[in-house]
Structure 1
């Protein structure tokens, strides 16, 4: 009997268990347990077997900062973001005021993602494991659970948009929605199995055909004559629409903050933090703004073109793109473009599938006993289960999800930033051997109290189809994420020093 030790350097024997093994002729030991067989299978086919354990410094050899940039650029230059940009006109905003909202709130959302990306090279931990230093072992479970929901929700948005486009192709043999969801999910699952390096390499090139087709969409929309800038408005209704649209945009961009370290964790400790920050920031902000504005422009066409309006009403953004690229336009070549765009959503789905396995392993030690590749299977099943019913009420689902993402991520990033700068005084305040030792981590009471304060603020400031808070009614818009930042931050700055005083850490 031998002990299967994931990483003895950082004390992971606490989560290791005894397994069966046998010796082979060269004297090495082969793990014959189910866990070991799965890990051996992963290694045989070059799948990434590493879970949430810290990546040692000698294994952090991915020195290209621009590779990290190309990754974030590619996963955000996807057609699903068109649906987010299209929300502005639905809320009553015209083109130019929507553009200003897109520019500002996406920048606001990209900043925390760029900030948290710096922790990967410095400390070698995945994003959700870092949360143990900020929130404690127990407090981190709150955010890990919420991040699991986020992984599923993000993938659902990507797969639904892809399925919408596949469904519009062909006059008499349309791909059923459930089949489109299956196609995209299974392709993303296959890529995710091979882990960090394969996902990075795929994302390095997959954006190119998407970019070309997005330019074609712009050209065809212009030729259709349907585009209009609309009429700029003023007043309380305009302010409310700006706040609500901004909340959706912020949630869509800042939502990547809980994934940030996962994709730079193999960067060396010597990585230039200033350069990495700005590379990640602009690699996020530029493609998101670009695609959001195209989605916005396409949606403006529905106000002057009846076919576009009907197509959007029947098949969402997929139907709208069909009306622009196929109907009285490029016909067969247009349908080919739709297929390519549908498959491009795989680029946005892969990170969610990959991070799902890492997040659930961070939730509790018991989940470390299940290899990451098994969690990739589980997450794919959940994506399918959510995507198919959500397909039929996509707009409401997407808007509610993006808003809720913005709410809880606001508390997450506020508490994390305060713990890092206000309590730990920078990276010197982290002992990398403590990551799985609850006695050396914060007890989590301050995090819980601050998070609940953020939830209370959220309730009074949110504007959803199923609930509108009293403050949201007054401003006629969604102000929940701004309130979450304020209330979570103030309460944490009061509660955390008291926690340190009475618990010592």
Structure 2
């Protein structure tokens, strides 16, 4: 494992030094109190509002849509929040830690799904923003695509600290605007009318729960990327609680808001609905709140690009050892920007449904991973890992982790009969239960139980010697004065 120069995450205001490598104790400058606002903003944009449209589009009332949304978000955010505690304990990006379950090279199986998800979400974000801003203000869609992509790229290049900083600024900007709109809605000052239709069906109720639960589960593959600068001995329950309430509260708020916009205004576009309801409060407020939502979405694009870079570098390192320099991060993020920007330019709003179907497939691919990873971390190895061995195929975790790969494959195959991909494919069991999407839940249960059963033969006690040697090696790292002009790796840490 190589360590890059720098005694902090980056020279003050500069590009972050770290990427897939271990963050030593003397560089851990993160604060738990920043995690809540960070993940609050991650969901605080009009993409989340659209989740609240699902129930009403199937005939579900406002009250039942809100209830289903709350149940789904509380359930799904649990998985996301528990992953967050791994970052502080291990000081690693999420996908590097996954080598312990899938092997140094075997983790590439999961990396394919995570990379597609990061790029896919940025394509959807750009297309929706370009369409919405063109519809509201008449702005050029190509210019919107290029500007938003470049801003997201720059945020990802500058990295961890700048992402946290910008997220905090937008959080303080957005919060009062949404408070004003929400109070106006409660006081009857945001327009709308009581619908004449809308009730309850189990299919619609379950669909809203599934969509809401899966929404925050998609953060699982990269949530610890943004907690790995927290001090190692930060209490896990503090991290979990901060991330949970941050990500859950904003998602619940905007899903309920979306349900109100759908049932009271007949909205089908989150950004346009924000603009219309905002202008009902007072003229010009619609533009203000719409642009704040755009800012949050652009920041989230930086989040996706940053973790996409970590995914690509991890994949490259799994195939052939690389030095994770700042130059490499710039090249990878630039390539990812060209990729998602190019796809967005040739993708119409009408093609978004197909892309959502593809992202649903990625959810089916990611859910078995999160089950395997969490079972291993909390129930099998209980947070005890030989970190230096995660950077070599000849370590105790090997090149291919057969237990993780088998459990993952079994879980994914089990979801196939439950697939619900509108206009593409529905599995036979999904058809029998009225098209309700529970495939992700099946994947969670089957993969988690399978991995736990397969790990009964794993001798975790025998790994202790490697863990102690790893801890000694990591403890021997010393601070090096930061260099703003070179990417010079330190000598390799013995594995």
TM, length-normalised to structure 1: 0.81
For residues 232 and 432 of structure 1, what CA distance do their matches in structure 2 show?
A: 54
For residues 204 and 44 of structure 1, what CA distance do their matches in structure 2 show?
A: 18
**Deviation of residue 432 (structure 1)?**
1.3
**Deviation of residue 482 (structure 1)?**
1.3
- Residue of structure 1 in register with 2:85 after alignment: 118
Change in Cα spacing, 1:422 to 1:214, as seen in structure 2 (3 Å) is closer
Alignment of 1:187 with 2:187, yes or no, is no
- Residue of structure 2 in register with 1:35 after alignment: none
For residues 295 and 289 of structure 1, what CA distance do their matches in structure 2 show?
A: 10
- Residue of structure 2 in register with 1:259 after alignment: 222
- Residue of structure 2 in register with 1:15 after alignment: none
Alpha-carbon displacement from aligned partner over 1:168-194 (angstroms, at most 9, x marks no partner) = 233xxx113332222211112122221
Alignment of 1:73 with 2:40, yes or no, is yes
Alignment of 1:100 with 2:67, yes or no, is yes
For residues 8 and 204 of structure 1, what CA distance do their matches in structure 2 show?
A: 27
Q: How does 1:55-204 map to 2 (within 5 A)?
A: 55-62=23-30, 64-170=31-137, 174-204=138-168
Is the CA contact 1:78–1:347 (under 8 Å) kept in the aligned structure 2?
no
For residues 356 and 184 of structure 2, what CA distance do their matches in structure 1 show?
A: 27
For residues 263 and 256 of structure 2, what CA distance do their matches in structure 1 show?
A: 10
More helix by share: 1
**Deviation of residue 359 (structure 1)?**
1.0
Deviates more, 1:128-137 or 1:393-402: 393-402
Change in Cα spacing, 1:468 to 1:296, as seen in structure 2 (3 Å) is same
**Deviation of residue 145 (structure 1)?**
1.4
**Which 5+ residue runs of structure 1 have no aligned equivalent?**
10-41
- Residue of structure 1 in register with 2:388 after alignment: 433
Match of 2:414 among 451, 457, 467: 457
Change in Cα spacing, 1:389 to 1:230, as seen in structure 2 (3 Å) is farther
- Residue of structure 2 in register with 1:49 after alignment: 17
**Which 5+ residue runs of structure 2 have no aligned equivalent?**
467-495
Change in Cα spacing, 1:448 to 1:323, as seen in structure 2 (3 Å) is same
Change in Cα spacing, 1:382 to 1:54, as seen in structure 2 (3 Å) is same
Root-mean-square deviation (Å): 2.8
Is the CA contact 1:110–1:254 (under 8 Å) kept in the aligned structure 2?
yes
For residues 342 and 124 of structure 1, what CA distance do their matches in structure 2 show?
A: 31
For residues 18 and 290 of structure 2, what CA distance do their matches in structure 1 show?
A: 36
Change in Cα spacing, 1:284 to 1:89, as seen in structure 2 (3 Å) is same
- Residue of structure 2 in register with 1:271 after alignment: 234
For residues 265 and 99 of structure 1, what CA distance do their matches in structure 2 show?
A: 34
**Deviation of residue 367 (structure 1)?**
7.6
Deviates more, 1:407-416 or 1:385-394: 385-394
Q: How does 1:203-352 map to 2 (within 5 A)?
A: 203-218=167-182, 222-223=188-189, 225-228=191-194, 233-234=199-200, 238-303=201-266, 312=268, 316-326=269-279, 330-352=282-304
Alpha-carbon displacement from aligned partner over 1:254-288 (angstroms, at most 9, x marks no partner) = 11111111111111112121111111110110011
For residues 285 and 211 of structure 2, what CA distance do their matches in structure 1 show?
A: 33
Change in Cα spacing, 1:462 to 1:267, as seen in structure 2 (3 Å) is same
**Structure showing greater relative contact order (alpha-carbon pairs closer than 8 Å, 6 or more residues apart):** 2
**Deviation of residue 437 (structure 1)?**
1.7
**Deviation of residue 226 (structure 1)?**
1.8
**Deviation of residue 199 (structure 1)?**
0.9
For residues 296 and 485 of structure 1, what CA distance do their matches in structure 2 show?
A: 28
- Residue of structure 1 in register with 2:478 after alignment: none
For residues 11 and 336 of structure 2, what CA distance do their matches in structure 1 show?
A: 21
Change in Cα spacing, 1:385 to 1:93, as seen in structure 2 (3 Å) is farther
**Deviation of residue 252 (structure 1)?**
1.3
Is the CA contact 2:4–2:17 (under 8 Å) kept in the aligned structure 1?
no
Match of 2:431 among 473, 480, 485: 473
Deviates more, 1:400-409 or 1:111-120: 400-409
Is the CA contact 1:135–1:416 (under 8 Å) kept in the aligned structure 2?
no
SS of residue in 2 equivalent to 1:223: coil
Matched length = 448
TM, length-normalised to structure 2: 0.83
Change in Cα spacing, 1:473 to 1:178, as seen in structure 2 (3 Å) is same
For residues 380 and 195 of structure 2, what CA distance do their matches in structure 1 show?
A: 48
Is the CA contact 2:178–2:289 (under 8 Å) kept in the aligned structure 1?
no
Is the CA contact 1:447–1:492 (under 8 Å) kept in the aligned structure 2?
yes
For residues 125 and 367 of structure 1, what CA distance do their matches in structure 2 show?
A: 17
For residues 367 and 289 of structure 2, what CA distance do their matches in structure 1 show?
A: 37
